[in-house]
Structure 1
């Protein structure tokens, strides 16, 4: 961070010097911490330089030694103002980039750390601390739902004393912010506008954001973040909180499952000794329509929790981010790596700088972060792409994942791979490729659980099996193609007991 600050200072100084050489007027930049002591007797023009919402310093023009240059004062000021705006934009972009990189690293670090926590409360403390570190909020609190008495109860805090939280046991009644959040997703409570706002906020806080923590099975509790300033949460903060909430739900689901059934006792043994067992597979999937394409996906886990990732995220009305990955290992350890990568991906896709469409950059950042915080035996194959409906293009980068298949008419092509698995080598550089699709073309993405499925003779299903299944249903909707491939896999493995995490994503370009 010090080196980065030094590089920035040198760049600003060089920019000022080049401007001074061009206009013939002395130009200098005074950092914020030096403005109070700066000599302003020679100033004839100054401008505040902003780094985002904060003042970085002032750009100043002094009187020239050659008085003949006075006639150009207005033009010089206009040029200096343009230069100042440029410096401010560069500083803001660099700061945003640093924050985003830090956010990704923190989210992945937290996600991997909670996988090794023996006590759920340790995981809760880590996540609440991360909620404060990743936002400008001062404090955080978690309330766990108690369905027996229809209330939520305080179970953890960060950045504040638990005694400062009002109503640590809250009934879920009409009009209460916790119930409103559980019904609507979130609610903002302000001391100046909310009815009885002070009833829900600590004395020193002026605003509180209450966010529902939910699983597929139902509500689990509420996450509160507090601040002393009356303000709305920033988009970046909302994305970070969304990632924290997702990991909170994962931790709480793990606790519930561990306590409620024998199959979840196996999960407890996974956490304690990483032993392996053979329960039934759990399946989930989705279908959706985004920006000129139809999507259908299936994720089937060998255990209740798996390491496969399948994400389809709408960036805007025309662009859609697509990611498929497979974390090494099984069950909880793999699921924690996958969950951390998913949270990081969600944070990146919420960014507004446009780098989310640079697939190679996204892959390289995730690789460096994973390599820093994971042991040698933990890694992840990952393919990430962006579909743009304006020209039906698909840009992608592939980090050691089975190449997606492109079906166009009677042709089937395997897309390229661009480098090693994520987390293997921090210095790996990744390339990218771009293809242009036609209406009714299909892309099929999958994990190795599909191609490595074995029959009774231990023959692999392979990409040939996918091609055969798709060729027989090439005119069908993505959901039907998905069912056809899944059916072929089940027939191939019938009677073998072969089971692994399996992910399949079918994408068809609309006419």
Structure 2
């Protein structure tokens, strides 16, 4: 910006005229090439000079040989913040040098003031335009909850405002390990490859959470150079997508890359502007991710409610009344739906007890247990023994369980009330406890057998034991023994065994209540993570 643009000809003529008259000197204001911009005192001094002086290495010389004052003049350059805007020159007697010095001071100070005012005005305009842009970006992105649309709109703004030719928007995957391209403009397909955090320019920007401005021809590490080359780019600008929640650590979501600015090089102003745009985009992305998480949580909640209803529908409303025994059963669902199931089947003098647990916590798990319940009941109705029931059920359910990547543990026992014999088989379930009243001790009932759904063709060991009046059979799931207290200690088999021994004089319903009370007191203050299921049979 020149002197005439900063101060104007009228003001320069007024100042130069006054000083020329006061100092009786011939004064000139020259541009940086020596051309006369303003002059005063020519008529009084009869100066024959044309329109310019000779300026060489900072010295101003009068080229007019006919002038008695030809040769080097008194001159002082006018500089503003290191930029040469011209000079003040003068000739005459006496006060000429002082007049030139004073005029140079006045013009330099006025030029500096105007330069600062112009710069401030330009900065205000730039800031206003930046605020307007960010408001526009915020307004647009604030109404969008589709992540890909946010990415595309962000790149449109960045390309338009910064005048780059290529752009890409990358987000971290769910594990926070890989950067994946969500949207891109003008970028070759080979640049759409996912990058590991710490790899290439983008990966390093995310790892360090600091932007990078790469100039054309700048030497780069091999992995950085590969990424720049994949964009087919010279200059490169990469800015992290950062979001900070109140009181929480700053979170990095991804990165925005721009390449090949139309004017050739990216500036610090471009970096500042892209950082501001990235900040708005990060807010929108974070909100969108929260919305997706809420949707997913709501979906899971609905699924859990359905699974819970399925699970509860599989359980018997009440135990059957069977001569010679007392029965009780309970299932206390966890906060997260488990897969526990128990059943009583009584027909033709035979009483079958089943307790089972399916892996997983979903509608699929609940449905798989419902199907297994149907198969178990069908096999039992066919008169098969416990070992045969488990083998047949495993063979029937194997394909479905393996495809769903689920498995089921099952303990099945059949009681003959006429002979008081208990026949049982175990498919990888927790071995039940049997209180032997005559001996005054608890024993564990186990038999070899694999979980259902692991192998297709499995044989199960079958065992038989005779019961006596007062004997108590307690079936349970791992939610009982794995209930933790605040110290992380399991309720465990030993506590369960001792509780059964101490409660052996109670009825089955009373014993169930007592066992649950002990489990609850043990794990007080710790959320229940698994179903607590118990079945009790007492021989009269």
Return the TM-score normalized by structure 1: 0.43
Which one scores higher on RCO, CA 8 angstroms, separation ≥ 6? 1
